[in-house]
Amino acid sequence: MPDQSGARGAQGKADGNLALACAGARQHQIGEIGTGDSRTSPESPRSNQSEVELSSRKLEKPFAAGHDPISDADVLYVVSHQRDLNFPPNTRYLYSNTGYMLLAQIVAHVGGQSFRTFTTERIFAPLGMKNSHFPDDFDQVVKNMAFGYLPSGDTYSMGLTNFDTVGATSLLTTVEDLALWDENFYNPRVGGPTLIQQLQERGRLNDGEQINYAAGLVLGKYRGLNTVDHNGADAGYVSDMIRFPDQHFTAACFCNLGSADPSDLARNVADIYLASDMGPAKPSDMGGSNSVTLTPAQMQANLGVYVNIKDPDDLVRWVIKDGKLNVGNVGEEQTYDVKPISESQFDVIDPPATITFLGTRSGTPLRFRITEDGKIDTYSEVPTFAPSASELAEYAGTYSSPEIDPLYELKVEDIHVAGTPSNQDRIGLVLSRLKNGPDPLQPVTKDFFTAGVGKIRFMRDSKGVISGFLLSTGRDLDLRFERGRPAIPTR
């Protein structure tokens, strides 16, 4: 049975982002590396540019699982073949595993020693963290190491990582060692007050917007209290550490069961210990005196797919679920209850937002506006797409990207949904790619599909023929694929 207790003495894998940010900041502090220093990883074509921090693509995983671990050389190979950024540097924020991996390379390159040695000598040993290190040998046996698990029907399967690289992941530590790490933020023995301040400076974009992400830390609030937090998840390992600096209280939770929710568990602990300091919990009641009841016809009027007028890949779907209106992101199963304030205005409780429909269709696409955290986005209705077999055949073929090795092959096939009669099978597009099972595509609107791999937007040439597609996976935006087999990266 997987251990969710964070048992004393057990070593688990944790998110290594903050330790990495601390290492980089420590080198800068002692003069080994400067801001904008060009003495970075020579293998990266953008190694001396700021987009490594905010705009680098996340690593696509084309390498084999099992005992064929992803190495630093593999990551650098993928990064060195990047053609495009996710967006212009510093125009928005998107978490990047690749950026942290590159920073670990920079620390090792500039420091003249392995990242494991640097962090052990400069950070972990001075803090007395005797059971913490970044591994540099995939086959090393680590005493008391906890293995990851994933639910598999009525039992469990192993959920292990296959990385032989560090930076964004792979920190081996214990909750006891993290208590020593945490105390350094109150009484800084490593780095001093200046380093602690630098680690908690929130980023600022070109337009002046201040984001809540700092150096491997997220600054926010929970039930009215200031928080400093970061979580992580990989294979069967999940973790979260949330600090309440004004109360000198921290809850850290390691789980070696991938389905566990350490963020919720850590906050449940804080709810108990800080009950007298906290504000009210978020409301859960969707009813209330200011809510109204919509008729079935009123709910039906809002159903459909809508696209963000500023982002063509940001689509949402309005559905009726258990007799109530729900809204959710296209491509995701989760939907959110909405509380009707009127026929055209709705509140979303979690995450808190207000939605207002702008007029009625009347021959034009219906629109709505959503206000969340002071930001306003407008969505416009788009026609849904139910392609025939001949229309699907337009998209079939082999596709390749100059940025990664694997070919992506699309075929028109019968798609069977497990647990349903065979007479409910349908014709659809199915994606096949290296080290992955068949991945059915779901049509959303013309030339736009969702799949397990992400969102796929097909491109057409001047004659209207499908020429390729753009793949967005959440942290990879608009990864370009061309139809056929153009130049594939060579090692």
- The verdict on 133 and 99 lying in the same domain is yes
**Spatial distance between the Cα atoms of 422 and 417, rounded to a whole number of angstroms:** 8
- The verdict on 119 and 34 lying in the same domain is yes
In sequence order, the 6+-apart residues with CB closer than 8 A to the CB of 109 are 39, 40, 41, 42
What is the token pair recorded at 288? 């209330």
pLDDT tens track for 98-150:
889 999 999 999 999 999 999 999 999 999 999 999 988 888 899 999 999 99
Average pLDDT for 15-43 = 52
- The total number of structural domains in the chain stands at 3
Give the helix/strand (H/E) hosting 313.
Answer: strand 311-321
Which residues span the domain enclosing 29?
A: 12-273
* pLDDT score of 318 more than 90: yes
CA neighbor of 345 nearest in space, from 378, 376, 369: 369
Q: Given pLDDT bands bounded at 50, 70 and 90, which one contains residue 31? A: low
pLDDT at 389: 93
- The verdict on 255 and 203 lying in the same domain is yes
CA neighbor of 477 nearest in space, from 177, 121, 83, 193: 83
What stretches of 12-56 show up as alpha helix (H) in DSSP?
Answer: 17-29, 51-54
The three-state secondary structure class of 194 is helix
Average pLDDT for 187-212 = 95
pLDDT tens track for 218-267:
999 999 999 999 999 988 999 999 999 999 999 999 999 999 999 999 99
**How many CB atoms are closer than 10 A to CB 6?**
20
In this predicted structure, which of 27-31, 151-155, 309-313 has the lowest mean pLDDT?
27-31
Of 382, 413, 429, which one is at a domain's C-terminal end? Answer: 382
pLDDT at 63: 40
- The verdict on 18 and 106 lying in the same domain is yes
* pLDDT score of 89 more than 60: yes
- The verdict on 44 and 103 lying in the same domain is yes
**Spatial distance between the Cα atoms of 366 and 360, rounded to a whole number of angstroms:** 6
* pLDDT score of 392 more than 90: yes
Residue with tokens 């990242």: 115
- The verdict on 233 and 251 lying in the same domain is yes
Q: Given pLDDT bands bounded at 50, 70 and 90, which one contains residue 13? A: low
**Spatial distance between the Cα atoms of 333 and 379, rounded to a whole number of angstroms:** 20
In CATH, what number is assigned to the domain containing residue 435?
A: 2.40.128.50
Using CA atoms, how far residue 199 sits from 95, 291, 429, 451, 453, in Å, is: 16, 44, 47, 37, 34
CB distance 213 to 202 below 8 Å: yes
In CATH, what number is assigned to the domain containing residue 205?
A: 3.40.710.10
Strand blocks (E) in 322-374: 324-329, 336-340, 345-348, 353-358, 367-372
Higher per-residue confidence, 307 vs 490: 307
Q: Given pLDDT bands bounded at 50, 70 and 90, which one contains residue 50? A: very low
Q: Decide if 357 is inside a domain.
A: yes
- Predicted TM-score of the model (pTM): 0.80
What is the token pair recorded at 245? 């600096």
The pLDDT mean for the chain works out to 84
pLDDT tens track for 456-484:
999 999 999 999 999 999 889 999 999 99
**Spatial distance between the Cα atoms of 47 and 352, rounded to a whole number of angstroms:** 39
pLDDT at 14: 58
Q: Given pLDDT bands bounded at 50, 70 and 90, which one contains residue 281? A: confident
In sequence order, the 6+-apart residues with CB closer than 8 A to the CB of 89 are 49, 50, 51, 54, 55
Q: Decide if 307 is inside a domain.
A: yes
pLDDT at 474: 84
Q: Decide if 235 is inside a domain.
A: yes
Of 242, 273, 304, which one is at a domain's C-terminal end? Answer: 273
